[in-house]
Amino acid sequence: MKLLFCCAGTKPEPWIAGLRAALPAADVAVWEPGAPAADYAVVWAPPQAFLDEQPGLRAVFNIGAGVDALLKLRLPPTARVVRLDDAGMSVQMAEYVCHAVIRHFREFDGYEADVRQGRWSYRKPRSRADFAVGVMGLGVLGSRVAQALRVFEFPVNGWSRSPKALDGVRSFSGREGFNDFLAASRVLVNLLPLTPDTQDILNRDTLSRLQPGGYVINVARGAHLVDEDLLALLDEGHLAGATLDVFRTEPLPAGHPFWTHPGMTVTPHTSARTLRDESIAQIAGKIRALEQGEPIAGIVDPVRGY
């Protein structure tokens, strides 16, 4: 069994060592052009040349949560794309989103601004009942985020393509439930996969349906958001602010309005990072299962895009 590692921007040595330790019978190597045919691949942003050169791959393991970029490439006809189920990312995402929601709800950004100017200020406490949080996308990450928000006693709404039942979460689903979901939410958290159906889903029409004083948290993909529409709704006062971790162009270009807009909090795509040891253990376990003819979780449906 041969396994190739082809991950742009990732130091390969620790991954190779970890994969060799977890799969001692496997031949594990970093891909170089002209490499022998492999059975499996661990990838992130691989070049098309790699996939063209490996037509016999049985499975391609993507080390990030999103597979949208990978699905745009021509994949080997027999290869299944496998995403990470969690690998330590869901707790990170829950931390990030809860921090963003609480920071806005408690007006800590306002306190920080006052302290920088030497002002001792006070703000009237807000009611959690007025800050319903809507989570778009109830997969592994979205479900963990929704349950974490419940700990802080926020009303939580969830929207997914198909019906989902989560304890303490008011669930909406499908196109017929989307507008009602938005109208019931004041804070909107986007955790949807990026597909042709969800690209530009955070636009003027969608965001205008949030309750007045709405707040947007995008931790999925930059292409979900129409930047100009968000900025316009902030300037018009319908939205109170936004926390963005993902952008159409990364790094966020110098001079982009998001850098300096007073209602914006920007972070450099760091809401949930891939944890190497957890990822290696999960990938190795799935390869062992495939070798034994057993089913595995996380196989991507290329039609749905996740």
Beta strands 156-160 and 169-173 are parallel
Q: Is-catalytic flag, 221?
A: yes
- Phi/psi at 264 (nearest 5 deg)? -110, 135
Q: Are 305 and 71 in contact (CB under 8 A)?
A: yes
Given the residues 269, 273, 276, 304, the one annotated as active site = 269
Given the residues 83, 144, 161, 221, the one annotated as active site = 221
Beta strands 239-244 and 214-218 are parallel
Q: Are 206 and 197 in contact (CB under 8 A)?
A: no
Closest by CA position to 42, among listed 64, 68, 72, 21: 64
Residue 7 tokens, joined = 């991950």
Q: Identify the burial level of 178 via C-beta atoms within 10 angstroms of its C-beta, where 0-12 means exposed, 13-18 middle and 19 or more buried.
A: middle
| Gyration radius (Cα) of the chain, Å | 21
Residue 20 exposure: Cα atoms within 13 Å on the Cβ side: 10
Active site residues: 221, 269
